[in-house]
């Protein structure tokens, strides 16, 4: 690649980054080591903040393609009309105020030997790279998933325009209408997420759209997360609303018929929320972090460094749980991984051994507009086994649902957003 082919990044003031100007980002970092973090979601924003807190002398650059952070946790509340998009949207000024440079660009490639990543607007050299690209979707094996079907059957599983689309479709549903939701198979982000959404949609239909139904097509044998607690709530509140079907394998969809078909039956609905199976974010594939014919990025369990590309750490949903450990793909875990990767990078750049990792998860799910249930998990490295494991005695599920937990769910969000972004 030739020098003149790139628009160079420059900096104006502390942490504010604009295009053009001096070539400050391409070669010299003022004598300081530079760590580039790609993806300003739960994993990446936390990693950037903890890198700068842990070693203020580091030149930390966060690259995010969107202008703002938009949270998936609490996005189900938006779908059910309990919150607005503004409530789950936060800017990156808090990180900039810490001296982190925030660049808005989409990264499309890497030269790991030369030590730079290529964005659509320019290139960025790094001493270490942390990548947290989240997930993308797999439509393979399902006939009929063309552009029209994708538009008609939003996943709303990346908070953004599809969250708004689903909320508006629900608001416009006539009484007696049918909503269909498909639960994803395999590893997917936020295992209880579809069931929380189903609960909030059912609650909304019961209160606002008399006689409406929610059909849930689930590939699992039973509810895949917090099963007993969700089932209890559905039995108590939604027997007249939810039609829950297990072991459903989807064969095709039809935009023309507005339908989803298993190998046995065709389901038509006024609203279809189809959450496809998932894989690491496309960026992980573009950077060579996912082996051929696989879906997730393998990492070393202590440092979360890629086993495929040296000097590049992968965190969050994109990691292969067979290598990172038995943690669920959650925002809390992604943030936890951000702290582990930051500590490892700081140590290794100083010529020291990375500390032993510790990961945690806390995840609340609403079962109606006020009550929630929760699960917690704590994980550590088992040196003898060479892998990360769950500490059973430090992990638990709530014994029931309560309004107090519902208030804690909102506090959880405020707490983690503050930890990541201010
Ligand atoms: C409905 C729903 C409810 C959820 N509820 C909870 C909950 O209650 N608790 C919980 O802990 N988790 C929850 N989650 C899961 C949580 O959202 C994810 O686990 C978390 O977002 C993963 O963090 P991440 O950093 O891996 O990815 P993300 O947070 O998705 O961040 C990835 C970022 O990378 C950026 N990016 C991607 N590619 C590029 C590129 N090429 N160049 C530049 N930037 C790029 C994206 O724009 C994005 O900002 C929920 C998820 C959903 C969908």
Residues 189 and 278 sit within 8 Å (Cβ to Cβ):
yes
Supply the residue whose CA is at minimum distance from atom 37 of ligand 1: 133
Q: Is the CB of 66 under 6 A from ligand 1?
A: yes
Q: What is the pLDDT of residue 31?
A: 74
Q: What is the pLDDT of residue 29?
A: 64
Q: How far apart are CA 219 and CA 211, in angstroms?
A: 26
Q: Is the CB of 76 under 6 A from ligand 1?
A: yes
Supply the residue whose CA is at minimum distance from atom 7 of ligand 1: 73
CA of 47 to the centre of ligand 1 (A): 14
- Tokens 């095709």 locate to 252
Q: What is the pLDDT of residue 32?
A: 87
Residues 25 and 61 sit within 8 Å (Cβ to Cβ):
yes
Pairing state between β 135-138 and 277-280: antiparallel
Q: Which atom of ligand 1 is nearest to the CA of 76?
A: 1
Q: What is the pLDDT of residue 27?
A: 42
Q: What is the pLDDT of residue 7?
A: 33
Q: Which atom of ligand 1 is nearest to the CA of 134?
A: 27
Q: Which atom of ligand 1 is nearest to the CA of 66?
A: 47
CATH 3.50.50.60 describes domain 138-278 = yes
Residues 67 and 42 sit within 8 Å (Cβ to Cβ):
no
Query: How do the domains of the chain map onto residue ranges?
Result: 3-134+281-355, 138-278
Q: Is the CB of 189 under 6 A from ligand 1?
A: yes
Q: How far apart are CA 357 and CA 50, in angstroms?
A: 14
Per-residue pLDDT of the chain (422 residues; tens, 9 = 90+): 333 333 333 332 233 233 322 333 444 466 789 999 999 999 999 999 999 999 999 999 999 999 999 999 999 999 999 999 999 999 999 999 999 999 999 999 999 999 999 999 999 999 999 999 999 999 988 999 999 999 999 999 999 999 999 999 999 999 999 999 999 999 999 999 999 999 999 999 999 999 999 999 999 999 999 999 999 999 999 999 999 999 999 999 999 999 999 999 999 999 999 999 999 999 999 999 999 999 999 999 999 999 999 999 999 999 999 999 999 999 999 999 999 999 999 999 999 999 999 999 999 999 999 999 999 999 999 999 999 999 999 889 999 999 999 999 999 999 999 999 99
Q: Is the CB of 154 under 6 A from ligand 1?
A: no
Q: Is the CB of 191 under 6 A from ligand 1?
A: no
Judge whether 3-134+281-355 and 138-278 match in fold.
yes
Could you tell me the CATH superfamily of domain 3-134+281-355? Answer: FAD/NAD(P)-binding domain (3.50.50.60)
Q: Is the CB of 72 under 6 A from ligand 1?
A: yes
Q: Is the CB of 63 under 6 A from ligand 1?
A: yes
């Amino acid at each position: 690649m030739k020098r003149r082919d790139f628009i160079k990044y420059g900096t104006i003031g502390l942490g504010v980054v604009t295009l053009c100007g001096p070539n400050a980002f391409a070669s010299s970092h003022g004598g300081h080591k530079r760590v580039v973090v790609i993806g300003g979601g739960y994993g990446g924003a936390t990693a950037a903040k903890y890198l700068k807190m842990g070693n203020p002398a580091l030149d930390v650059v966060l690259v995010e393609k969107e202008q703002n952070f938009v949270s998936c946790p609490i996005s189900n509340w938006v779908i059910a009309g309990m919150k607005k998009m503004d409530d789950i949207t936060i800017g990156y000024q808090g990180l900039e105020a810490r001296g982190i440079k925030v660049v808005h660009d989409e990264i499309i490639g890497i030269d790991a030997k030369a030590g730079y990543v290529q964005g659509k607007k320019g290139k960025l050299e790094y001493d270490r790279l942390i990548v947290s690209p989240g997930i993308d979707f797999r439509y393979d094996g399902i006939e009929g998933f063309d552009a029209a079907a994708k538009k008609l059957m939003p996943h709303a599983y990346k908070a953004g325009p599809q969250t708004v689309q689903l909320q508006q479709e629900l608001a416009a549903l006539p009484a007696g209408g049918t909503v269909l939701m498909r639960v994803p198979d395999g590893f997917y982000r936020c295992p209880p997420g579809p069931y929380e959404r189903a609960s909030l949609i059912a609650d909304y239909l019961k209160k606002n759209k008399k006689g409406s139904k929610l059909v849930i097509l689930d590939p699992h044998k039973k509810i895949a997360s917090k099963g007993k607690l969700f089932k209890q709530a559905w039995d108590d509140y939604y027997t007249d609303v939810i039609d829950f079907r297990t072991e459903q394998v989807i064969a095709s969809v039809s935009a023309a018929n507005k339908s989803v078909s298993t190998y046995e039956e065709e389901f038509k609905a006024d609203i279809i929320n189809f959450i496809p199976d998932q894989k690491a974010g496309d960026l992980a594939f573009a950077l060579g972090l996912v082996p051929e014919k696989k879906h997730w990025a393998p990492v070393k369990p202590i440092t979360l460094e890629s086993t495929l590309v040296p000097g590049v750490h992968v965190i969050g949903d994109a990691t292969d749980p067979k290598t990172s450990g038995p943690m669920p793909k959650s925002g809390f875990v992604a943030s936890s991984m951000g702290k582990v990767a930051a500590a490892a990078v700081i140590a290794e750049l100083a010529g020291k051994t990375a500390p032993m990792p510790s990961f945690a998860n806390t995840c609340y799910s609403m079962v109606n507009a006020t009550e929630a249930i929760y699960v917690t998990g704590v994980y550590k490295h088992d040196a003898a086994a060479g892998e990360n494991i769950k500490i059973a005695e430090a992990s638990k599920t709530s014994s029931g649902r309560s309004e107090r937990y519902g208030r804690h769910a909102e506090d959880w969000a405020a707490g983690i957003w503050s930890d990541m972004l201010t």
